[in-house]
Amino acid sequence: MEKIPFNKPHLTGKETHYIYDAVNAGKISGNGKYTKLCQDYLKERYSFRKCLLTTSCTDALEMAALLIDIKPGDEVIMPSYTFVSTANAFVLRGAKIIFADSREDHPGIDEDSIEALITSKTKAIVPVHYAGVACDMDKIMALADKYDLFVIEDAAQAIESFYTGKDGIKRALGSIGHLAAFSFHETKNIISGEGGMLAINDPQFMAKAEIIWEKGTNRSAFFRGEVDKYGWVAVGSSFLPSEIIAAFLWAQLENLDDIQTKRLQHWNKYHEGLKEWAMENDIRLPGIPDFATNNAHMFYLVCKDLEQRNVVIDNLKSNGILAVFHYLSLHKSPFYLDQHDGRNLVNADRYTDCVVRLPFFYELEKDAINFIKNELYEAVKNI
């Protein structure tokens, strides 16, 4: 058996064809034909008001922090169990991060713990849809309404995932908060190497987002003929990706349904093969709440403790299978430990110690999943 990597970027076949096309059209800087194709497609498919491609999900989060005008002293509530970029984007603007714990039954933010963290300084809540599984957005949006806060969905892993609220309407993740950030990093379902997207749902941000994206200039309005010259009108950055990246992404988006079908097959195969074994060994498999759908972004186990996880990772590794842990609680990071208010976040710490992600990518064969499953059986038997 060959080695099984944790991730393998999937090529749909037309990526380089579209890159050639972009180059031959003489336009490889940002905001060209492929950027527009991707943006229009994503906007329509997921009912965003507007969306803008970015060079990373990190950059999309930074745009969000600029849009809601985060200032030094503002507080932003987010889970501790998340990627550093969720926090960095707001720290860069001077915010204090108030870390919330994860749910007992899921690594996502514990929605019921949020209200107690809100103060007069709170400006935003940033729910992270861990593994592409929705947070309970009704609860979060109700808090935002009650306390006049912004909600920025960290939807890095959440493409093609949905939430059905109490009104019975099924909405795409990223279309519910005021703003949302997606990732097209090579480890995601739909990829462009590095890459991301900002989704804009609150209309007050539509014009401003475009300006920030274009280096603080009103260049987009100029090209639409809305202003007669363009200049420096606000602070901004260069958030837009090259057309090379957008062309690559377009080839992926054209195959979104195929990619999702295949990934769901892998996910179900894992789940089917592991559910009894997991119960017998005090290991938890990912659960999908009734209000959420499954986008098959990843397949992870929550081991019963750190020791069990170490055995699993080491045993798989010695059999050529790369399974990996995930985030380290940010409230205990070298950078933020002193700034955290000392609250214990037991679930975040448990996921830090106990989550292990299994190999997951389009080309993963049925045989490979069986092999991984059997090696998991063996690993845990030996504890």
Of the candidate residues 138, 194, 202, 254, the single one contacting a copy of itself (CB under 8 A): 194
Place of tokens 């606000």: 234
Q: Which of residues 100-159 bind a copy of itself (CB under 8 A)?
A: none
Q: How far apart are CA 154 and CA 171, in angstroms?
A: 15
**Considering only residues 157, 187, 260, 347, which one is a binding residue for a copy of itself as defined by CB under 8 A?**
187
1, 45, 335, 381: which one binds a copy of itself (CB under 8 A): 335
- DSSP-derived letter for residue 212 is H
306 binds a copy of itself (CB under 8 A): no
Binding part of the chain for a copy of itself, among 141-149, 211-219, 284-292, 375-383 by CB under 8 A, reads 211-219
234 lies in the site for a copy of itself, by CB under 8 A: yes
Closest CA to 239 of 190, 178, 177, 194: 194
DSSP 161-197: -EEE-TT--EEETTSSSSEEEEE--TTSSS--SS-EE
Q: How far is the CB of 70 from a copy of itself (least distance, A)?
A: 12
Confirm if 125 and 149 have CB atoms less than 8 A apart.
Answer: yes
Q: State the nearest-atom distance from the C-beta of 315 to a copy of itself, in Å.
A: 21
| Strands 355-357 and 96-100, sheet pairing | unpaired
231 contacts a copy of itself (rule: CB under 8 A) = yes
Cα–Cα–Cα angle for 301, 76, 57, nearest 5°?
A: 60
Residue 27 lies near a copy of itself (rule: CB under 8 A): yes
Region binding a copy of itself by CB under 8 A among candidate stretches 53-61, 142-150, 156-164, 265-273 = 53-61
Distance of CA 121 to the CA centre of its chain: 26
Question: Please, which of residues 262-301 interact with a copy of itself by CB under 8 A?
Answer: none
Position among 139, 311, 328, 343 found at the interface with a copy of itself (CB under 8 A): 328
By beta-carbon proximity to a copy of itself, the closer residue of 142 and 322 is 322
For the chain, the 3-state helix, strand and coil shares in percent, each to the nearest 5, are: 40, 15, 45
Q: Closer to a copy of itself by CB, 343 or 373: give it.
A: 343
Question: Could you give the CA distance from residue 371 to residue 341 in angstroms, rounded to a whole number?
Answer: 45
Backbone angles phi, psi at 124, to 5 degrees: -155, 155
Task: Give the whole-angstrom CA distance, residue 135 versus residue 79.
Answer: 11
Of the listed 43, 96, 123, 188, which one is catalytic? 188
Token reading at 221: 């309005």
For tokens 């020791």, the residue is 307
- Work out which of 85, 122, 281, 295 binds a copy of itself, going by CB under 8 A: 85
Out of 11, 37, 206, 285, the residue judged to bind a copy of itself by CB under 8 A: 11
Catalytic annotation present for 188: yes
SS3 label, residue 375: helix
Report the interface residues with a copy of itself, using CB under 8 A. 5, 7-9, 11, 15-16, 19-20, 23, 26-30, 55-59, 62, 72, 83-85, 87-89, 91-92, 185-187, 191-195, 215-217, 229, 231-238, 240-245, 248, 328, 330, 333-336
